[in-house]
Structure 1
Amino acid sequence: PTDDENINKFRDCQKRNFLTTLFLSQGIPMLVAGDELSRTQQGNNNAYCQDNEISWLNWKKADKVLLEFTQKLIQLRRQHPVFRRRTWFRGQPMQPGEIEDIAWFKFDGQYMKDEDWQHDYVKSFGVFINGRGMQARSSLGVRLTDDSFYIIFNAYQGYIDYKLPGKEYANDWTLILDTSKDTIITEGDEGRIYQANETITVHDNSILLLHHVI
């Protein structure tokens, strides 16, 4: 434990980063009970045999702000099947003339190439997830579609200005999540809107989630 405000602020941001990465990932999220409450187990990551304060849930000290953040992440995931795909990404268009189901970008808005992934200094990237790039169909045989999302991960120890993708991906984007803060813009609220090819500043050690309604 520490009273250093900067250290605690960084730790809080990292908690939001880990939770955001988990709930925006494909597959089944696995969350240890108490992670959403900031339970630390006093640094013990193997507390199965600790039947004491180390492993107990202290509801009186629950981090209600982080709990609300986690609840909104879960709500976001449940509302959007693009985060719960039934098939693997292909990195290709579903149909001729369409855009890829997933695409990876550098900070300058250019595609990530194979060699870009090999550089040890690459600590940030953007990923486009196409809401119309799903192969799955409903029980009625209707092809599932969703909105599209753009996620920017920045593990660098400094701010980075990111250029958003061109109009072929979306004309505009709404910022709905910034892990450098503790709020998520939910449906019905208004987030800041960015245009295609516009530059957006990403805080150090943080994640941005942008939403495009199709």
Structure 2
Amino acid sequence: MKYLIGILFFTTSLNLFGQVAIINDKDGFTNVRLKPQQNSEIIYNLKTNQVFWFGEEDFYSDNVDWIMVEITKNKYSIECGSLDNLIGYVHKSRIKPLNTIKEYKGTELEFYYKTQPFNEKNKIIDYQNDYIVSIEGLHPWGTDGGKPKIEVKELEIKIKENSITVPEILISDIYECDNNFNIYKIGQTYFVHQWNSDGAGAYEIVWVFTEKGIEQRLVGTII
């Protein structure tokens, strides 16, 4: 039971907030502060078109000016030895929720997962108390301790017929993917947002890319 609680904590503690955002700042970056006040220590700079999570409830409150944000410790949400993301505060005026951007309905972008049934042959799968804790050394997004049903074979991304290379590691830890998603665009940057799940292990993923390639992959769960 203690281990099960640990699994649940791991898969939910990565994102305790309810919304994804980018910054709204003409300077091209916004300061993240240690405490919710103007003179607090600056612990990070969020840059234009970088996605992060923020406290949705506080954001829509008239009584709160500084909003708690959560930032992954590497831009592809690949495990780096810590379960904790960076937590800080950003002034409300600098936060632009992703879902307030007009959804992109153009045709110059192609985004498509090629999937297949999960094949455990020749994969290193780590268990503890019958629960899967890692596959090929990575946390398996989209499961709740059991074996995945669907794995990603390939992710095809094209912009104006130009293919974007997707490193294998960026699709090797995401499971139960489908091709239902929302696309947003700002300038020449695209954001593909979706939820994936096997029914219990729901997770959120946002891909950020330009014609130059993948800029960021944000992956996490919320409670």
Shorter-chain TM-score above 0.5: no
| Larger Rg belongs to | 1
TM-score, with length taken from structure 2:
0.26
- Structure number with the higher helix fraction is 1
- Structure number with the higher strand fraction is 2
